Each structure stands twice: as structure tokens, then as C-alpha cells.
A and B are shown apart, each in its own frame.
Chain A
């Protein structure tokens, strides 16, 4: 089985376009929540969201759909310096999204002309045409685990030898469609989003995109690309508990995590950082703490854990990819950013949540895990190793 190197990162978040504003915003313990401007939030209990302040236009002027422009910006950054390397039959594109170009779909419902931007798979095809990818081009949609699932699929193809390189990631744009839905579920916090905090009262929505350029060790070496990290393991698992409610004990997440660690050949004791899903809902965070505890045991109390969702919101299909990018940054620097919004620990979530200020780890961990848990009970976990 071949090694998979992460050789490029791209992030678009409410902190701005690029990995650097994302990293700097997290390290500053900032929160990008502000009153929603993309639609009128006044009918809803919550009024805030994390919107990307300025979504770049498509350089070729073909794409207007907001979600797709988020994706194009992240893909462009991940491919920076590697343009042209994806051309040919030995490359793949795998994207994850929850709703894709759903704004185009709702615009059509309101009387606008139909465009293929409404189709979930259209951005993957667009990127394939632009990059010359002639291998597999796939779109996965497993709700909030979509970004991680896309990366896992791409990595699997590289490991098995089917392709040498892949652009993989996730994206989703904020819309009233999603906002109204989460509002109807009473899942949105009207105040500060506080992952794992005892006072947490709901999630906050965001938008964004994350992309990783993945290459076999041989392909990366052939073009002199320096691995930022290695993607060693991946797995998904279903809760098989309830169509909409998460397993209270986090058993699906635990199965996915255990399987991903086995896939990576990593003992739980070798994991030194977890980028958690951490939505800040009562149910999710408790479930996640129990799931992590069932794999890491007592060690979990001293295992640094982080959630980005108090800072940039829940970016749905982008979340798993953005959090994978964060995990690569932590493995590269040994610095864990604070979890925005977290102040007071919850006895039901006995985690070492990094909070208040960045923490420089005594030693850069060898392995780190990024976890995602989705509506309908899909869990996906990525295990990365420092380069």
C-alpha cells in the first residue's frame, strides 16, 4: 500500500481567503460570528453566522454560484505551484458537499432559469475540465462529514495505486435554506457558540471550503514537492442508531476512529492531537466526548482537543476538509490554537480542550486525528502523521 502525502492546502473561511488568515484567526482566538447579511435573519431565533467577507470571483468569469466560487478559491490555493500536475488519467478529483449549488436551485424555484450549478456534481466536473484530470471524478455527500469522506476516498485511490494524485476537499455556502432548517430544529445558538463548554446551547452556521492536494510519495518526490504531512488512515462508520439523532454513546464515532487508527497502523497512545467535530450542541459534544473516551480511555483528559466551530462556524460539507487542513498545520508547527467560545469545562465532556491562548506542544505529535459526525449517523475520521 502506497503512502499518501499532503502537499497542498487551501482554505476559505469567514476569516478570509487562504490558509494564513484562517491560521491567524484561530491563533488570535477570534470569532468571525456577526449578524447574517446574506439574508434577513429576523424571522429566526438566531441572527448570527460566519460569512466569508469577500468571495473571490471566478478568474475565468464562468462561475457565479457562491458555493462554487468558495471551492474554486480553496482549490486554487491548494494547487498553487502545482498547476498542471493533475492533468491526465492518473489523477482524480473528489469533492464533498452537503447542498452544493443549492442557491441556484432555490433561485430556479423562485423563477430564475435552470443552470447546471444546481447539480451537486457540477463543480467536480468543472474542476476536472480546468485541471485536465482524466481519472475518477466523484462527488460525495454525507452531510457534515462530506469533506472528510471526500479526502478519505481520494486517499484510498492513491493508496491502492489507482491514481497518483488527487485534489480532494469540501465546500458549502451559507443560505437561508440551511439557516431556516437548523432553526426549525432549534439547533442554532442565539449567543456565543461554545464547543464543549458547559453553557453551550447550540451551533452557529458558517460557510467555506477546504482542499487538500494529495500525492503518492513517489509522485510528490518526482516533482520535488515537500510533504506537509502524511495521510495514514481513514474510515467511516454509521451510528446505526436513529435516522436523525446521534448515538448517545458516540459508538459510531468510536468505530470510525478505531478503524481509522487501525488503517493507519497507529496505537491510540501515539495520537497527540484531535481536531474534533465539536458543533456546540448539547447532544453532539457529549456524544463525541464519550466516543473519544471509548477509544482513548483516561488519556483523553490530557489529549489536546480543538474545535473550529466557535471561530468560523459549522461549515457543513467543508468542515471535515477545513479541519483536516488545521490538523496538518498542527502537525507542522506543534501549535494548537485555542477553541473560540470555550471557557468553562463540562463534566460530561472531560476533554483537554485547548482554550484561551495557543498551546505549544512539548513535542510535535506523531499522529493526529480529525473527526466528523454527520446527520443521518455518518461518521468519518482521518488520521494524519507528521512529515
Chain B
């Protein structure tokens, strides 16, 4: 049996003090102690949950869960621990257990689960630039299959200064097309319809993941998937949150292929948010649907081969 999946909140980690809902159940002291990755995920996820009107239950809720997607994950803490190990070889202080405890990529899941008593699914996807969108698709799968009533899906990557040297080293293979390292975090609350007080903003219509190293074939496969799913190509707004590194999602070819209507992105406009990009794009799609109804697709391409697509529709559609 499959169920309908609705989006009841969308939020970004960096909305600032003017945001309409504060992540009140988050322990601010705790927030200061965790690394940049977990903090960003916690802010985005908590803000989305608060905005969806989800109250923290007294005991862990087995029907509520969290899925986090990231390209770099807790690499900042990994870097810190590795550096302490190198320094230790020179006789400096030994590695810190507090830092080592944050070198697991599901730390962000654990923090959100504790903050909001999410006792159900707990998953971290570390698949590169598509990870944020993969987190949303996985969360949607869980609700659709009935194994969860509500899942907060978070895409996150930290623009942690400690990561910049690693990112600079990794970007060289993309040459001049590589943008600046931005990072970010965003979250959607996905759930089955009908929770009292919840106001659906959009619905999850479709999604897909594929692997295709050739950029032209990847574009053709995404187009074929959208056509097969019955979406109105040519008028369907597309959010392209990731910088296009291999030409797969160049707006020109997309328009010539009759794929795109309005094109939105990248997200953020001045850099690459990596694993957060898909979730930031999905937030943009929810906002777009809120303004104009209809459907909106989010496409993310990893030049190494993976690609992901998500189609959201109006909540009543």
C-alpha cells in the first residue's frame, strides 16, 4: 500500500533572527558544543519541525524520524581528530574524545532525534552533491511505504573554514567551472496527510535516482523520466541548485530539449552548497509552488555519475 506524501514545512539553516519560527526545543548550550555540520543540520531541521507545528513528545516517537544528506558530512571533526593525531605524534595533547564522538556522519541525526524525540528512522546519506535530494527521496519513501508518519529530511554541508583546503584540493578536477565553496543547510518536513494543525505546502509527486557518467546521456535519461512520469515538459519550472560542472544541466540544452520552462538556481546563487544543494533547491521549489501553484522539479547532477530528480506539486494536486 502506498500513501500520499505532503510537505508541511520548509526551512533553511541561515534564515537569521527574523525567521518566523525559532527552533525552541534545541538546547542552545548543546548547539554551541557540536561541530559546524551538526549545528547547521540541527538549525535547519529544528526550524522546519517548529514551523510544521510539530511539538516535542514526552517520549521518543517511533513514527517520526530523520534523514540527513551531505557530501562532506562531519569532515570538519574528522579533520580535527586527524590533526590531533598528527600533532600527538609530535608529543602534543592526545586526541579528544569529545571531538572523536562527532566523527560519525549520523551525528546530525542523533542531535535532531534527541532534540525532538524522533524515535523512528535515523539515516545519513553521504552520496556527494545529490545527497540532499536523496535524503528527501528516502524520507518520502519511508512515509509512502508506511514505515514512518513524519520524517524531517535535511540536506547539509558546512562551509567550515577547516574544510576549505580539502575542498580546494578536490575541486581541481573540475577546473575553471568549479564555483566557490558555499555550504548551507535546508530541511523539509514530509508526512502523510491529515495531522491536525498541519498545513500542507506541497506534495511529493515523483522522484528518481540514476547513475550515468556521460552528461548528455544523463540529460536524456532525466528528460525521459520526466516525460514518462507525465510532467508537462516545456512549462515545468526547474530548480537547478547545483552549479553545472559538466554541461549536463546547462540551461541552453535543457531548453532546446524542450525540458524546461522557468529555470531557478543555483542555490545559493554565489557558490556550491554540495549536499545541501538539493534540499535548498527543494525549499525554493516549495516557495515557487506557493507563489504559483502547479508543479516544480528539482534536478541535481554529480559530474561523477549520479543524478537525482524530485517533482513537487501543489498540495491539493
B111 sits at the interface (CB 8 A): yes
The interface residues of chain B lying within 8 Å CB-to-CB of A374 are 104, 106
Is A108 a contact partner of B104 (Cβ separation < 8 A)? no
The interface residues of chain A lying within 8 Å CB-to-CB of B109 are 142, 238, 376-378
A281 sits at the interface (CB 8 A): no
Q: Which of B94, B116, B126, B138 contacts A180 (CB 8 A)?
A: B94
In the assembly, what is the distance between CA of A375 and CA of B210, in Å?
30
B212 sits at the interface (CB 8 A): yes
Known: A134-B212, A180-B95. A125 touches B114 (CB 8 A): no
Q: Which residue of B lies closest to A144 (CB)?
A: B104
A235 sits at the interface (CB 8 A): yes
Q: Which residue of B lies closest to A106 (CB)?
A: B82
Known: A116-B170, A180-B88. A141 touches B114 (CB 8 A): no
Q: Which residue of A lies closest to B103 (CB)?
A: A181
B8 sits at the interface (CB 8 A): no
A55 sits at the interface (CB 8 A): no
In the assembly, what is the distance between CA of A119 and CA of B147, in Å?
31
In the assembly, what is the distance between CA of A214 and CA of B127, in Å?
21
In the assembly, what is the distance between CA of A244 and CA of B111, in Å?
9
The interface residues of chain A lying within 8 Å CB-to-CB of B75 are 105
Q: Which of A102, A133, A149, A259 contacts B123 (CB 8 A)?
A: A149
Q: Which residue of B lies closest to A128 (CB)?
A: B211
Known: A140-B125, A142-B122, A374-B106. A134 touches B96 (CB 8 A): no
The interface residues of chain B lying within 8 Å CB-to-CB of A375 are 101, 104, 106-107, 110
The interface residues of chain A lying within 8 Å CB-to-CB of B249 are none
Is A185 a contact partner of B122 (Cβ separation < 8 A)? no
Is A235 a contact partner of B118 (Cβ separation < 8 A)? no
Instruction: Specify which of B65, B75, B126 lies most central, judged by the most chain A CB atoms within 10 Å of its CB.
Output: B126
B263 sits at the interface (CB 8 A): no
Is B212 a contact partner of A378 (Cβ separation < 8 A)? no
Is A185 a contact partner of B101 (Cβ separation < 8 A)? yes
Is B147 a contact partner of A240 (Cβ separation < 8 A)? no
The interface residues of chain A lying within 8 Å CB-to-CB of B96 are 184
Known: A119-B170, A259-B62, A374-B104. A138 touches B125 (CB 8 A): yes
Is B305 a contact partner of A376 (Cβ separation < 8 A)? no
Is B122 a contact partner of A378 (Cβ separation < 8 A)? yes
Query: Interface range on chain B: under 10, 10 to 19, 20 to 34, or 35 or more?
Result: 35 or more
Nearest chain B CB to A177's CB is how many angstroms away? Answer: 6
Is A125 a contact partner of B306 (Cβ separation < 8 A)? yes
Is B73 a contact partner of A141 (Cβ separation < 8 A)? yes
A236 sits at the interface (CB 8 A): yes
Is B122 a contact partner of A135 (Cβ separation < 8 A)? no
Is A240 a contact partner of B145 (Cβ separation < 8 A)? no
Is A106 a contact partner of B85 (Cβ separation < 8 A)? yes
The interface residues of chain B lying within 8 Å CB-to-CB of A259 are 62, 120, 147
Known: A121-B126, A180-B95, A376-B106. A238 touches B209 (CB 8 A): no
Is B169 a contact partner of A238 (Cβ separation < 8 A)? no
Is B111 a contact partner of A109 (Cβ separation < 8 A)? no
Chain A positions 127-170 with a Cβ under 8 Å from a chain B Cβ: 128-129, 133-143, 149, 153, 156, 160
The interface residues of chain A lying within 8 Å CB-to-CB of B138 are 153
Is A184 a contact partner of B110 (Cβ separation < 8 A)? no
Nearest chain B CB to A30's CB is how many angstroms away? Answer: 30
A38 sits at the interface (CB 8 A): no
Nearest chain A CB to B58's CB is how many angstroms away? Answer: 11
Mark B80-106 against chain A: 1 for CB-CB distance below 8 A, else 0. Answer: 011101101000001111001101111
Is A185 a contact partner of B78 (Cβ separation < 8 A)? no
Is B82 a contact partner of A255 (Cβ separation < 8 A)? no
Is A109 a contact partner of B83 (Cβ separation < 8 A)? yes
A242 sits at the interface (CB 8 A): yes
Nearest chain B CB to A171's CB is how many angstroms away? Answer: 13
B154 sits at the interface (CB 8 A): no
Mark B101-142 against chain A: 1 for CB-CB distance below 8 A, else 0. Answer: 101111101110110111111111111100000100010010
The interface residues of chain B lying within 8 Å CB-to-CB of A218 are none
B271 sits at the interface (CB 8 A): no
B245 sits at the interface (CB 8 A): no
Is A133 a contact partner of B211 (Cβ separation < 8 A)? yes
Q: Which of B111, B116, B118, B209 contacts A136 (CB 8 A)?
A: B209
In the assembly, what is the distance between CA of A375 and CA of B73, in Å?
15
The interface residues of chain A lying within 8 Å CB-to-CB of B141 are 156, 160
Chain B positions 168-202 with a Cβ under 8 Å from a chain A Cβ: 169-170, 172-173
Q: Can you name 30 A-B pairs with beta carbons within 8 Å?
A: A93-B211, A102-B82, A108-B166, A114-B166, A116-B304, A118-B166, A119-B170, A120-B105, A125-B304, A134-B210, A135-B209, A135-B210, A138-B134, A139-B126, A141-B104, A153-B123, A181-B100, A186-B97, A235-B147, A238-B109, A238-B113, A239-B110, A240-B60, A240-B117, A243-B101, A243-B111, A375-B107, A376-B107, A378-B106, A379-B122
Having A141-B105, A181-B100, one finds 5 other A-B pairs with CB under 8 Å, namely A105-B82, A113-B169, A142-B106, A236-B123, A238-B121
